[in-house]
Amino acid sequence: MSPPRTIRGPGLFISQFISNEPPFDTLDGMAGFAAETGFVALQVPVHDPRFIDLGRLDASGYIGEIEALMRRRGLAVSEIAAHRAGQLMAVNPAYDAVMDVFAPADCRGDPAKRQARAASDLHAAITLAGRLGVTRLATFSGGLAWPFFYLFPPPPAGLIDRAFAELANRWRPLLDHADEANVDLCFELHPGQDLHDGATFERFLALVDHHPRARILYDPSHMLLQHMDYLGFIDRYHGRIGAFHVKDAEFVASDRSGVYGGYGDWLDRPGRFRSPGDGQVDFKGIFSRLTRHGYDGFAVLEWECCLKNRLDGATEGARFIRDHIIRVSETAFDAAIRRPLPDGTMLDTILGLGGKP
């Protein structure tokens, strides 16, 4: 087991803050906002070229521009994020029309071209992370089998196996490229994705030969809403947890709707996302267990709340994370009264075993 380690942070996942209004329309503006709000790192997505332009990846000086901007603002890049590209790596035909909103305009209506572009963007995002010295990339897995997660009648024999085999086939070259770039691919286990819990992650992991670069983005909000033991999850999978979203959730039992939400909007569902501290997630337990198991990444705020203003959520979230980070002690609390015994025979004396029976 890894020794305890102080978690880094607070970080901010900026996707939910991007807009067309300053300061949320440029990387420099967003970095300034984050620094002033108390964050020390950004998780930066690649789907908006105003923030990261993958088309400039090989342009002279581009990597240095990003590094200089972040250094000027006093921030680190915690992770590069490519959730949209990951989502588009595997799309069941039932979702083609709605998923096209994530695709570049020239790929819409063409699933094969859309998937090829997603793989190309992920390859470039991995390269970018490696050149920046960022060792984690956050993403989704995509979902070929998701429409069948609660199917009646049961799916045909072998359907789920075939879906996972294809998912592994699509991701394996990217995992290998990530290994070359010294970057971990951290899959956010999320409903809507084929990798949405520990069982599905294990299934995928076996098919990619337990690839060392296949890791987990741990977000307890999705586990609470699935009624999972999200603390026990850390004990089981801590060796594979590479990124951490601090996002809260609550499930308020209803007499007319359940886990699936009755097709309601977030505000009307029994299970809904909340700002950290406003929901039911035991973050004290989470920070304690991640610290105990030596988690070496950042605690990153993902603001998604059906009630609270995002600016209040950011301000409170930065403070919430700082207050929950456990600074690991350099010495044991009882170090002053520990002492070595002068020789091994004293052990028998202490136990009263000095004489032979």
Helix (H/G/I), strand (E/B), else coil: 330: coil
Helix or strand holding residue 14 (H, E)? none
Place of tokens 């992991």: 205
Report the 10 Å Cβ neighbour count for 102. Answer: 17
Do residues 15 and 305 make contact, with C-beta atoms less than 8 angstroms apart?
no
Give the model's pLDDT for residue 230.
98
> How many Å apart are CA 279 and CA 287, to the nearest integer?
16
Helix (H/G/I), strand (E/B), else coil: 49:
coil
Band (175; pLDDT cuts 50, 70, 90): very high
pTM for the predicted model, two decimal places: 0.96
- DSSP summary character for residue 306: S
CATH fold label, 8-350: TIM Barrel (3.20.20)
The percent of residues above 90 in pLDDT, for the chain, comes to: 90
Q: Cα–Cα distance between 170 and 115 in angstroms, integer? A: 9
pLDDT tens digits for 61-102?
999 999 999 999 999 999 999 999 999 999 999 999 999 999
| Nearest partner of 159 among 151, 114, 190, 202, judged by Cα | 151
Q: Give the pLDDT confidence of 186-214 residue by residue, as tens digits.
A: 999 999 999 999 999 999 999 999 999 99
The Cβ-side half-sphere exposure at 307, using a 13 Å CA radius, reads: 13
**Residue 56 pLDDT > 70:** yes
